[in-house]
């Protein structure tokens, strides 16, 4: 069994739906696009569906819908503006589950909050949010680090979209 398949099945067993996404590390602009017809709406916890998908796309990244189990702040630290925002706000951010991304960025996961939607650049340039209607790549399945793995803190001062 491939490591990515095993990780997708493990996520499903933990109650998280998963779906396959393009894995193209040489071209990050086309990276992470869902491989299923309806994207995150096709996400499944069914082990047979997951096994079939990773049989078709064995190197696919694992996408996980946001909003129900967690919401996310996605910080693209390869950009100076995002680095500056992160440095200026780091002391105010709670120690919540954080995934290191392939580009060296951060996905900060928080408890679900219906006031947090999906946004691009609203918090700052190259800083996005993902709530209901969004998804993230589950980078720990690719061997990338998780910080504060046991913590899932509440969001503070959230507003929808």
47-96 tens-digit pLDDT: 999 999 999 999 999 999 999 999 999 999 999 999 999 999 999 999 99
So what's the pLDDT on residue 20? Answer: 98
Q: Lowest mean pLDDT of 3-7, 29-33, 69-73, 136-140, name the range.
A: 29-33
Residue length of the chain: 161
Say what the pLDDT of residue 155 is. 87
User: For the chain, what is the mean pLDDT?
Assistant: 92
Give the pLDDT of residue 89: 94
- pLDDT tens, position by position, 102-124: 999 999 999 999 999 999 999 99
The owner of tokens 């193209």 is: 24
Map out the domains of the chain as residue ranges.
1-64, 66-161
Contact assessment for residue 4 and residue 61, using Cβ atoms and an 8 Å cutoff: yes
* Per-residue model confidence as pLDDT tens digits over 142-156: 999 999 998 999 987
Q: How far is CA 16 from CA 22, 34, 39, 95, 119, in A?
A: 19, 16, 15, 22, 22
Question: How confident is the model over 15-35, as pLDDT tens digits?
Answer: 999 999 998 877 765 578 999
- As a whole number of angstroms, the distance between CA 66 and CA 87 comes to 25
- Name the strand (E) or helix (H) holding 19: strand 19-21
| b/e map 51-73, b = 16+ CB within 10 Å | eebbeebeebbbbbbbbeebbbb
Give me the residue label for tokens 């580009």.
Answer: 103
Indicate if the pLDDT at residue 160 is higher than 50: no
């Amino acid at each position: 069994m491939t490591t990515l398949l095993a990780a997708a099945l493990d996520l499903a067993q933990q109650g998280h739906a998963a779906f396959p996404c393009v894995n193209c590390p040489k071209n990050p602009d086309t990276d992470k696009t869902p491989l299923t017809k309806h994207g995150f709406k096709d996400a499944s916890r069914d082990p047979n569906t997951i096994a079939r998908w990773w049989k078709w796309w064995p190197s696919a990244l694992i996408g996980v819908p946001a909003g129900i189990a967690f919401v996310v702040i996605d910080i693209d630290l390869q950009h100076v503006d995002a680095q500056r925002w992160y440095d200026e706000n780091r002391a105010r951010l709670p120690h919540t589950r954080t995934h290191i991304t392939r580009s060296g960025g951060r996905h900060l996961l928080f408890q679900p909050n219906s006031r947090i939607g999906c946004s691009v650049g609203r918090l700052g340039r190259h800083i996005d949010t993902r709530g209901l209607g969004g998804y993230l790549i589950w980078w720990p399945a690719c061997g990338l680090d998780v910080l504060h793995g046991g913590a899932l803190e509440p969001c503070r001062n959230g507003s929808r979209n």
